[in-house]
Chains A and B, each alone.
Chain A
Amino acid sequence: EPEVTQTPSHQVTQMGQEVILRCVPISNHLYFYWYRQILGQKVEFLVSFYNNEISEKSEIFDDQFSVERPDGSNFTLKIRSTKLEDSAMYFCASSDYWGAGNEQFFGPGTRLTVL
């Protein structure tokens, strides 16, 4: 069964460093999403991506964040100059149609720890 994969499973970084979180969506899916979940809190939408551009983003997704689809399979989230409060689990998801009305499939997450 096709699945969304994410790497690494756990990333530890120093405050101020840049990190890139990687996702491989399901191959025939066209819409891609990043979410984050701070420990003990609810899942929060960051950004959605379609046709090589951002289609929607939340207030959390500021200039510190960027997304890219560098090739036909990977979908990345870059966090520049990480802060302590960026420590969270980051989930990638994909869907074959626009997500609000269509099922999203989630990856296992990357746990980011900023020291």
Chain B
Amino acid sequence: KNEVEQSPQNLTAQEGEFITINCSYSVGISALHWLQQHPGGGIVSLFMLSSGKKKHGRLIATINIQEKHSSLHITASHPRDSAVYICAVKLIFGTGTRLQVFP
């Protein structure tokens, strides 16, 4: 059975801080999905990655297939980054990491 675990569950930060959110999974995969869920409920795709690293603006996602682990980093965090960040593998979603960034 595929399990997807995220840590931490909740995260608070001051504006400008570097953020790291972790995701571990239990089955072999070809790709992992990072998503952002806004306070209003909408879900936005951030990254789909199968190896190495991807960068988009202030967001960086890395994956280690052998260790079954991925991280999402946010550089120079901003209050508008406040959201729930979700890792998904093979249609199984993690419980999400709730990030709050304070000015």
What are 26 A-B contacts with C-beta separation under 8 Å? A41-B95, A42-B93, A42-B96, A43-B43, A43-B86, A43-B93, A45-B93, A48-B91, A58-B91, A89-B41, A99-B91, A100-B29, A100-B31, A100-B90, A101-B31, A101-B48, A102-B31, A104-B33, A104-B45, A105-B45, A106-B35, A106-B42, A106-B45, A108-B41, A108-B42, A109-B43
Known: A37-B41, A91-B43, A106-B44. 10 other contacts (CB 8 A): A35-B93, A42-B96, A43-B37, A45-B92, A58-B91, A100-B91, A103-B45, A106-B45, A108-B42, A109-B42
Chain B residues whose CB sits within 8 angstroms of the CB of A109 once the complex forms: 41-43
Q: Per-position contact with A for B20-34: 1 when CB-CB < 8 Å, else 0?
A: 000000000111010
Q: Which residue of B lies closest to A105 (CB)?
A: B45
Chain A residues whose CB sits within 8 angstroms of the CB of B31 once the complex forms: 100-102
Q: A18 at the A/B interface (Cβ < 8 Å)?
A: no
Q: A68 at the A/B interface (Cβ < 8 Å)?
A: no
A12 smallest CB distance to B (angstroms): 16
Chain A residues whose CB sits within 8 angstroms of the CB of B50 once the complex forms: 101
Chain A residues whose CB sits within 8 angstroms of the CB of B92 once the complex forms: 45
* A residues at B contact (CB < 8 Å): 33, 35, 37, 41-45, 48, 56, 58, 89, 91, 99-106, 108-109, 111
Give Cα A58 to B90, complex, Å. 12
Chain B residues whose CB sits within 8 angstroms of the CB of A56 once the complex forms: 91
Q: Which residue of A lies closest to B31 (CB)?
A: A101
